[in-house]
Amino acid sequence: MSSRRSRQSSATVSRISDDQIIELVSKLRQLLPEIRNRRSDKVSASKVLQETCNYIRSLHREVDDLSERLSQLLATIDADSAEAAIIRSLIM
Amino acid sequence: MRSPCSLKQEFLKKWIMGIQRCNFSKKKLSILERKKAIKLSADVAMASLRNGTTCWSRALIAKAVNQGNDEKHDLVQQMVKKAPIRSVSCNKRMMRSKKILKRSCGVRRRKCAAQASTRPSSIAKRLVRKRTRILKSLIPGGEFMNEASLIEETLDYILSLRAQVDVMRSLAIASENQS
């Protein structure tokens, strides 16, 4: 099998080996909700990578949205309320 | 491995320190500029928690230093205790040597690809290679990593991103509830 062959090849030609994929799947399973709900045994490497990429992209989008929301909040916060004073002292 | 709770607390401290240094109350910033400052502080705070131990955190800080103006440069310097700016030149050297290696391997790879393009195992391998490339483009500094460390860096990056998102979301919800 080519995956066995790749483990013996030199360090410069490092493909992801089967063991690394198994390790990745078990760790990612705890992190990714989609994979956790599916059957545990047959998850392909490319599927795991795809879910990982989608998850990271959604996290990036969320950071972007939250930064936008916080930026607008700081602009529109009611100047006189007591809570505004607390938040202002926290971040301004 | 630090607990996610302490990770969030340290992130919150550094992030708020970063935002305070932006001096929002003194300047008249547009919403977009404020958003960029908030995001930059969040990213640098998240990366500085790793103290230069992971590749993605070093790359993220280097990118923040390179793309900002002098003011942002000072902000990043203050948020990061150590100065990992030397890692930018190391990464450039690594990139150059990787390009030379890739160029010399290219001919061999093209010959092999012509022979084995229709086997299902090679299709699967191609998919893995393609998705690994996409993953590398998503992780900061990913293009400099070999595939073994890419997996570890991905896991650490996802954990840090989740802590960042959780803290930002909590602050946004708390602020919205007050006003």
Whole-model pTM: value is 0.73
How would residue A9 be classed by pLDDT, with cut points 50, 70 and 90? very low
Q: Confirm if B59 and B157 have CB atoms less than 8 A apart.
A: no
Could B16 and A88 be called an inter-chain contact, meaning their C-beta atoms sit closer than 8 Å? no
Q: Distance from B81 to chain A by nearest Cα, in Å?
A: 21
Taking contacts as CB-CB distances below 8 angstroms, the residues of chain A near B178 are 77, 81, 83-84, 86-87
Q: Note whether A79 contacts B: Cβ–Cβ < 8 A.
A: no
pLDDT tens, position by position, A37-86: 565 556 677 888 888 899 999 999 999 999 999 888 877 654 445 555 66
Using DSSP, state whether B139 is helix, strand or coil.
coil
Residues 87-126 of B with CB under 8 A from A: 101, 121, 124-125
Q: Note whether B1 contacts A: Cβ–Cβ < 8 A.
A: no
Residue showing tokens 């990787």: B98
Taking contacts as CB-CB distances below 8 angstroms, the residues of chain A near B135 are 49, 52-53, 56
Amino acid symbol at A62: E
Could B164 and A23 be called an inter-chain contact, meaning their C-beta atoms sit closer than 8 Å? no
Give the Å distances, CA to CA, from B103 to A26, B22, B109, B112, B131: 35, 45, 10, 15, 21
Q: Note whether B169 contacts A: Cβ–Cβ < 8 A.
A: yes
pLDDT tens, position by position, B72-120: 667 777 777 644 444 444 555 566 666 676 666 665 555 555 555 678 8
- Prediction ipTM score: 0.75
How would residue B151 be classed by pLDDT, with cut points 50, 70 and 90? confident
A40 φ, ψ (degrees, to nearest 5): -80, -25
B146 φ, ψ (degrees, to nearest 5): -80, 170
The CA distance from B123 to B119, in Å, is 6
Indicate whether B137 pLDDT > 80.
yes
Domain range annotation of chain B: 4-88+132-178, 89-118
